[in-house]
Structure 1
Amino acid sequence: MAKTRPHVAILVANLPAERDRRVIRECLSLEANGYDVTVIAPRGDPSLKILPNSRNTRLKPYPVKVYGSGVVTFAVEFAWSFICIAFRLLGEILAGRAHAVQVCNPPDAYWPLAILFRALGRPWVFDHHDLCPEVYATRSGTPNGLVFGTLVAFEWLTLRTATAVFATNESYRSNALGRGVKPEKITVVRNGPSASEIKPAPPQAGPQDEHTIVYLGVLGPQDNVEGAVLAAEELIRLRPRPDWRMVIAGDGETLPALTKLVAERGLGNVVEFTGWLEGPAIDELLRKATVAIQPDLPTRMNNLSTMAKTVEYLGRGVPVVAADLIETRRSAGEAAVYVEHGTPHEYATALAALLDDPAERQRMREVGLARFAHELSWEHQSRGYIEVWNRLLAKRLRRAKASAS
């Protein structure tokens, strides 16, 4: 690596770098615009030293000894991650790298490092992936007031100690403003694939021998993938002729419970699990999909969050059936059919109607593709993302260009 190039260290605590698609896109955008990058994240594939498909983004993984499933184990897991990340970040600084840091949540626990790093006169940028207090409230059912209040305080500290904030949508921007962050410090950078990741697919307006209903994403308690499975059970009653199947693509802590549910309900002939898929396999699956299901329930967290899977669907022109959520409407517009309460029967009824209406599916397909091309693709998001870094590291960029000339 040329020492003259500005260097950004990206910190991730909840996923291996090679599985975080947003971080991958951010790294590739930084590389394309004259930056060197190191990602400090949990260890995934032990053979990887460089981020796949990147030029030279270095991976500095750390081992994860504990995986959280409750408040105490989550605290232990993230305390361990904090120590590992701090140690590796110190190594980057001593090696003359880490001219700036981008930290991605969850958790909102790295604000002490932000204070120390900014004391060195270097930018610390917060990439706001999740509303951690709302995630906790959704997962716990009856949140403990002390724990929830602590998470709110940590979110406030994380936002306020950052040099700049990347918000994934307008609701996250409003949240940051409500925490006292100045408007000029916040840039909206939405989730979504780049156009280069997607191969064009022929229209699917005519009759099909078999329809494919897709769920793509994480299989966690807050994702309500159980609702998609139960919607498949309801759809059998509404549409008993076996001309469709539901493909659930993803991985997460509820996968064992979901596979058990499918077996108990006798749905193995219509519901299949693919496990975690990488980019090309995702593209192949979604290009063949008839319709997508987004079974997230209308909770506060889901109302305010942009689901990455929504933009993945729209980028391939796949019509979406989803609960009526604020940010889902902002993303999908008329490319989705919205149900009020998110019950399995509502989802099944909407799916059955779309499977019987190829003209409506084609209309929704065209709307989704247009929204992706003109607003939602990563090409549109990366411009604002890079503008922030160019401003924060302007002096280092000028020195790098002068050195190269």
Structure 2
Amino acid sequence: MNPRIVLATRLFPPEVGAAAFRLKALVTALQSTGASVTVMTTVPPNGGRSERGISRWPVLRDRGGNVRGYVQYLSFDLPLFFRLILSRADVIVSEPPPTTGLIVAVSSWVRRRPYVYYAADVWTDAVIAMGASAPVVSVMRWIEGVALRNASHVLAISDGVADQLPQFGVSPDRVIVVGNGIDTEVFSPNGPRVLPGHPYFVYTGTMSEWQGAEVFIEALKMLEDDTDVRLYFLGQGASETKLRELAEEVVPGRVIFGGVKSPEETASWIRGAAAALVSIVPGKGYDFAKPTKIYAAAACGTPVIYAGAGECATMVADNHLGESVDYEPSLVAEAMRRFLAGQDGNSESRIDWVRRNASLRTAGERAAAAVLAAQPA
């Protein structure tokens, strides 16, 4: 009998985001083995057509159309409990946030079946980075710990994430590093590129407090001899309002917020950019993160300017994906000048590196193998 897998996630295509793409790759890999997969997710912001194997539930969303915030999470998590209790499955797969993991853990205990937790990052560290109060951090640590410790397997997207899990009492032999990546067919050097009539840099994806993208706006201000250069933000996030206000204050008219784009549109913007921008504020507890926007840019042949420290700095520098600089506007501005001058000759090598090391299909296959291994004997 083919294994029955249920995936519980608030994000799934047609919604755009690294989590949605990663989970679609997992489902595709599971189905290729003959597994029967049901995705329990949300109704997308603009509605959507009925799809076989996908069970959608209406949820509350914030003003940006995101399922982000405790009330929004609960609007998905509470109905999810009953959906899971009534479902037939051999293994459940839980995507963050940890509140969803807690629901999956409790429902799995009731139904006496295993579950796998997909750890794309560590939410407790993110809460600390946002300056949350001690009680909030304690509650999040407890919730995340329950979700992690009771999972048959924990899938980590990187060694950096895996290294953070022992703090929750997770046994290393239950942690499987499956990697992460992007769709190298969509993000490739082949395809249209945006040519707006002026040189530009592009920042894609989530704008959060711990990413600190304001460093790029401050750097743009320092390009006093290149006032025709623009900076495009394609995505959304908790810091968007703050970034808009800063841009209007220091470089009015030179920063454009284009909203969420499809992967194909994003790739066309990346191809035309002088460089793609990625940052992580050092010392916030997120130096281990590896944003997929790095892989997307490199796969298109576009250099990356990474501002920050940690694993990303080493990865970008060692593999000639662009330039790594300290999280300092003046250093970012210097890197911007170099790429505006065309000082880059590693396009082919970075494209090859991504294909060998950051293929989303390969990551999905590793994750699927780990999920299937969690089946009861």
Structure 2 portions without partners, runs of 5+: none
The one of 307, 326, 330 aligned to 2:291: 307
The SS at the match of 1:110 is helix
The one of 294, 298, 322 aligned to 1:336: 322
The SS at the match of 1:246 is strand
- Deviation sequence 1:18-74 (CA, Å, 0-9, x none): 332222222222223322322223331322322xxxxx4413223216789xxxx94
How far has the Cα of 1:330 moved from its partner?
5.2
Checking the alignment, whether the CA contact within 8 Å between 2:90 and 2:376 is kept in structure 1 is no
- Number of equivalent positions: 365
Q: Distance in 1 between matches of 2:281 and 2:306?
A: 9
The SS at the match of 2:285 is helix
How far has the Cα of 1:256 moved from its partner?
3.5
RMSD between aligned alpha carbons? 2.9
Q: Are residue 125 (structure 1) and residue 134 (structure 2) matched?
A: no
How far has the Cα of 1:16 moved from its partner?
7.3
Q: Are residue 134 (structure 1) and residue 125 (structure 2) matched?
A: yes
Structure 1 portions without partners, runs of 5+: 51-55, 396-405
- What residue number does 1:48 align with? 49
How far has the Cα of 1:164 moved from its partner?
0.6
Q: Are residue 111 (structure 1) and residue 84 (structure 2) matched?
A: no
Residues 40/83 of structure 1: CA separation in 2 closer, same or farther (3 Å cut)? same
Q: Distance in 2 between matches of 1:201 and 1:172?
A: 32
Q: Are residue 10 (structure 1) and residue 11 (structure 2) matched?
A: no
The one of 203, 219, 224 aligned to 1:231: 219
- What residue number does 1:275 align with? 259
How far has the Cα of 1:276 moved from its partner?
0.3
Checking the alignment, whether the CA contact within 8 Å between 1:101 and 1:123 is kept in structure 2 is yes
How far has the Cα of 1:131 moved from its partner?
1.3
Residues 13/324 of structure 1: CA separation in 2 closer, same or farther (3 Å cut)? same
Bigger shift: residues 123-132 or 189-198: 189-198
The one of 164, 170, 188 aligned to 1:181: 170
Q: Distance in 2 between matches of 1:228 and 1:48?
A: 39
The one of 79, 87, 100 aligned to 1:84: 79
- What residue number does 1:217 align with? 205
Residues 392/5 of structure 1: CA separation in 2 closer, same or farther (3 Å cut)? same
- What residue number does 1:374 align with? 356
- What residue number does 1:53 align with? none
Q: Distance in 1 between matches of 2:301 and 2:187?
A: 11
- What residue number does 1:151 align with? 140
Residues 67/139 of structure 1: CA separation in 2 closer, same or farther (3 Å cut)? farther
Residues 392/315 of structure 1: CA separation in 2 closer, same or farther (3 Å cut)? same
Q: Which has the higher contact order (CA 8 A, sep 6+)?
A: 2
TM-score by length of 1: 0.80
Checking the alignment, whether the CA contact within 8 Å between 2:130 and 2:209 is kept in structure 1 is yes
How far has the Cα of 1:376 moved from its partner?
1.4
How far has the Cα of 1:173 moved from its partner?
0.9
The SS at the match of 2:15 is helix
- What residue number does 1:58 align with? 54
Q: Distance in 2 between matches of 1:15 and 1:299?
A: 31
Q: Are residue 25 (structure 1) and residue 61 (structure 2) matched?
A: no
Counterparts in 2 of 1:335-354, with a 5 A limit? 335-340=321-326, 342-354=327-339
Residues 132/234 of structure 1: CA separation in 2 closer, same or farther (3 Å cut)? same
The one of 281, 301, 313 aligned to 1:317: 301
Q: Are residue 164 (structure 1) and residue 156 (structure 2) matched?
A: no
- Whichever residue aligns with residue 347 of structure 1, its letter is V
Residues 289/31 of structure 1: CA separation in 2 closer, same or farther (3 Å cut)? farther
How far has the Cα of 1:293 moved from its partner?
1.0
- What residue number does 1:400 align with? none
Q: Distance in 2 between matches of 1:47 and 1:81?
A: 17
Checking the alignment, whether the CA contact within 8 Å between 2:73 and 2:99 is kept in structure 1 is no
TM-score by length of 2: 0.86
- Deviation sequence 1:166-204 (CA, Å, 0-9, x none): 1111111112234332333211122321222234339x9
Residues 198/78 of structure 1: CA separation in 2 closer, same or farther (3 Å cut)? closer
- Whichever residue aligns with residue 226 of structure 1, its letter is E
In our comparison, the structure showing a higher alpha carbon Rg is 1
- What residue number does 1:389 align with? 371
